[in-house]
Amino acid sequence: MELYTLPGSPSARKVLAVIHHLGLAVDVHTLDFMKQETRQPGFLALNPNGMVPVLVDGGLTLWESCAINQYLVAKAGGSSLFPDDPAVRADVTRWQFWEQAHFNKAWGTLIFESIIKPRNGLGEPAAEVMAFFQQDLARFAPVLESHLAGRTYLVGDGVTLADYGLVCLEGYRSVTPFDWTPFPNINRYLDHMREQPAWVKAAPKATAVAA
């Protein structure tokens, strides 16, 4: 299997964390954002969206990080990361969808506007966009805060795919223009997840081969 990533990509890191957790052998190709390698015809043939991560396994080319992670569990022959029990699996999937559509969408947009754009010469933060997604994150953070009361993980008593998805932006927490102090459960949870061995191993590198 081959995985295409960009350095520092949160979505790619959550896939790398699952690869490390499962102990899978995957050749990792790290592309160059500044050279616009994700906009080149060869890469667009793999993912017409021009985004990472992309997994290639024989004749299968798969994009979208949550889909990739579910596939990796299947390739590993199953794992507690994505349990076989239908109700538990549905719960994991529910939180995967939620972080993508709501929590991390809002958080990620704030990161892009306030950090990524200025750092890469893409313009100044758009004030109206910032205000909208600060309100959006303030709307969804209490949902997570309440759910995490008395919990270490999102689903059950161990780490799942949902956790590796939700934690993917934790490295930007201290520099995100958002007040996290009213959310002690979220802070506790992110502090715990950032110490997970597979997450630590998936930290950004220029090149890597995961095994």
Per the structure, the complete domain to which residue 69 belongs is given by: 2-79+198-210
The pLDDT-based confidence of 120 (bands split at 50, 70, 90) is confident
Question: DSSP H helical segments within the chain, as ranges?
Answer: 10-22, 41-44, 65-75, 86-98, 104-111, 117-119, 127-147, 161-166, 184-193, 197-201
CATH number at residue 131: 1.20.1050.10
* Residue 81 confidence (pLDDT) above 80: yes
* Residue 209 confidence (pLDDT) above 90: no
Query: In terms of domains, do 125 and 105 share one?
Result: yes
Check residue 205 and give its pLDDT.
64
Check residue 126 and give its pLDDT.
94
Question: Which residue carries 């927490």 as its tokens?
Answer: 173
pLDDT tens per residue, range 15-64: 999 999 999 999 999 998 878 899 999 999 999 999 999 999 999 999 99
pTM for the model: 0.92
Q: What are phi and psi of 140, to 5 degrees?
A: -90, -25
* Contact (Cβ atoms closer than 8 angstroms) between residue 19 and residue 210: yes
Tally of structural domains, the chain = 2
CATH number at residue 72: 3.40.30.10
Query: In terms of domains, do 118 and 190 share one?
Result: yes
Q: What are phi and psi of 19, to 5 degrees?
A: -60, -45
Query: In terms of domains, do 45 and 92 share one?
Result: no
Cα(110)–Cα(211) distance, integer angstroms: 33
Query: In terms of domains, do 104 and 170 share one?
Result: yes
